Amino acid sequence: MVTEKLQSVVCIIGAGPAGSSTSIFLSKLGIKHIIIDAASFPRNKVCGDGLDMKSIRMLNQIDPNIFQNEILKDPSFTPCNGVRLIHPSGKNRDYVIDKTKVKAHYHPFYVSKRMDFDHFLVKKIDKTFANLLLETKAKTIEKTTDGWKIIAENKNVEFEITCKLLVGADGDHSILLRHLGERKINRKHYAGSVRQYFKDVEGTHSENLLEFYFPPKYPFSYFWIFPLPNGEVNVGYIMVSKYASENNHNIRKIFTELITTDPILQHRFANATPVGEVEGWGLPLASLERKAYGDGWLLVGDAASVISPTSGEGIGNAMFSGYVAAEFIAKAIRQDSFEENVFINYQRELYRQFQEEIDRYNKYIDKKPAVSNWLINTLIMDNFIIQKLYKRSMQKWMETAYEKRIKVTLD
């Protein structure tokens, strides 16, 4: 096999939402870099495919006209106008945005298969600044006196890449994370999840609501149904790993049990057809703060463990970490130093965004299962004031997502 030597100040491993966003924002700052991914795009990724308001905010940060000019015209994106919480009694709590109070092109959520969404982002990588190598897997990484040596391979070529700064954007099983000896799973801050596509699930809402059900039998977990085009839906189930292992719960089995026997769900799946297999993957939650910087390295996305612990959403957080990382990389280049102390505030800026959710999760996760169940299925779902506040907040969050730019404080 031929060996090709490549050199760059910055190299990113992984071109999922975290890696492609890092690349997109680096290019906006005029910084040349290499970005590699083992996959060829479009590629599958096990996910709920839900784009929350953080994702919307980051997409707006990439281009304030992206929704009007691209996303709303692209059939692979399903605009969703709210949320449905499925009450254990079978009655739904529907939160639909008041369209008279927001601009016509505002939708609080979207659903887009990762096959399409990640490809959409990869196509935004600017080749003027980025040397994008797809189907190229990082095999080994090694710290050198002045940076890193990465050996990566595609079908025909072995690449020897040298760089000063390595960005680990390669997900939960990150090679950089493993090299650092930091891929440790703390089950209290980790979740297991499965998803499957279906056709013809009954009872979905005409405003494409994202649906959530908290099965009373299984606390610290939820089941979702997210709408896709052509009568398809993304259906999935997530459970905190600590609770699953303590109770010997098999997430796949519970997923099937809920669809086939749960009195609230089974009738909706009576005439549904699965599209593809049940697929599973893990979620490293932001409630376990992981050190995301060091001498010559940064972690972004799942590698940095930044998934929202309260919702399981990680796409927007991954994109956000890429944006913050790019700002700190620009600072390092200006100072011509890639030492740890240059990145100290990266951690602060990253977690500042997640703190509220982390605090809420930490208060919730130590509750007794029965109490957690009561909190969600009785207090939240039955309380008129909480429902009103949520609806109002949704409207406000949406305005922030579409109208406010994120500022990063470097010092």
Ligand X SMILES: Cc1cc2nc3c(=O)[nH]c(=O)nc-3n(C[C@H](O)[C@H](O)[C@H](O)COP(=O)(O)OP(=O)(O)OC[C@H]3O[C@@H](n4cnc5c(N)ncnc54)[C@H](O)[C@@H]3O)c2cc1C
- Could you tell me the smallest distance in angstroms from the CB atom of residue 100 to ligand X? 28
- Could you tell me the smallest distance in angstroms from the CB atom of residue 170 to ligand X? 4
Closest CA to 323 of 133, 167, 180: 167
Q: Does 37 interact with ligand X (rule: CB under 6 A)?
A: yes
Phi, psi of 82, rounded to the nearest 5 degrees: 160, -160
- What sign results for the dihedral spanned by CA atoms 137, 142, 143, 145? negative
Phi, psi of 190, rounded to the nearest 5 degrees: -145, 145
Which residues, 272 to 311, sit near ligand X by CB under 6 A? 281, 283, 301-302, 307
DSSP state string for 217-286: TSSSEEEEEEE-STTEEEEEEEEEHHHHHHTT--HHHHHHHHHHH-TTTGGGGTT-EEEEEEEEEEEEBT
Exactly one of 28, 87, 93, 137 binds ligand X (CB under 6 A); that residue is 137
Which residues, 224 to 243, sit near ligand X by CB under 6 A? 236
Q: Identity (one letter) of the amino acid at 180?
A: L
Tokens representing 86 are 């499925």
Q: Does 35 interact with ligand X (rule: CB under 6 A)?
A: no
Q: Does 357 interact with ligand X (rule: CB under 6 A)?
A: no
Nearer to ligand X, 281 or 351 (CB): 281
Which residues, 46 to 105, sit near ligand X by CB under 6 A? 46-50, 52
Nearer to ligand X, 215 or 314 (CB): 314
If DSSP codes are grouped into helix, strand and coil, which group holds residue 36? strand
If DSSP codes are grouped into helix, strand and coil, which group holds residue 402? helix
- Could you tell me the smallest distance in angstroms from the CB atom of residue 168 to ligand X? 9
Nearer to ligand X, 163 or 315 (CB): 315
Our measurement of the distance from residue 266's CA atom to the centroid of its chain's CA atoms, rounded to an integer in Å, reads 29
Q: Which helix (H) or strand (E) holds 138?
A: strand 137-144
Nearer to ligand X, 39 or 66 (CB): 39
Q: How many amino acids of this chain bind ligand X (CB under 6 A)?
A: 38
Site track 167-186 with ligand X (rule: CB under 6 A), x = hit? --xxx---x-----------
Exactly one of 11, 15, 177, 299 binds ligand X (CB under 6 A); that residue is 15
Exactly one of 9, 26, 36, 342 binds ligand X (CB under 6 A); that residue is 36
* C-alpha span between 66 and 51 (Å, rounded): 14
Q: Does 244 interact with ligand X (rule: CB under 6 A)?
A: no
* C-alpha span between 75 and 282 (Å, rounded): 29
Q: How far apart are the first and last CA of the chain?
A: 46
Name the one range near ligand X by CB under 6 A: 248-256, 313-321, 374-382, 401-409. 313-321
- Could you tell me the smallest distance in angstroms from the CB atom of residue 122 to ligand X? 9
Nearer to ligand X, 18 or 342 (CB): 18
Measured torsion, CA atoms of residues 300, 73, 197, 183, in degrees rounded to the nearest 10: 0
Residue located via tokens 């999935």: 236
Q: Does 13 interact with ligand X (rule: CB under 6 A)?
A: yes
Q: Which chain residues interact with ligand X by CB under 6 A?
A: 13-19, 36-39, 45-50, 52, 137-138, 169-171, 175, 193, 195, 236, 281, 283, 301-302, 307, 312-316, 318
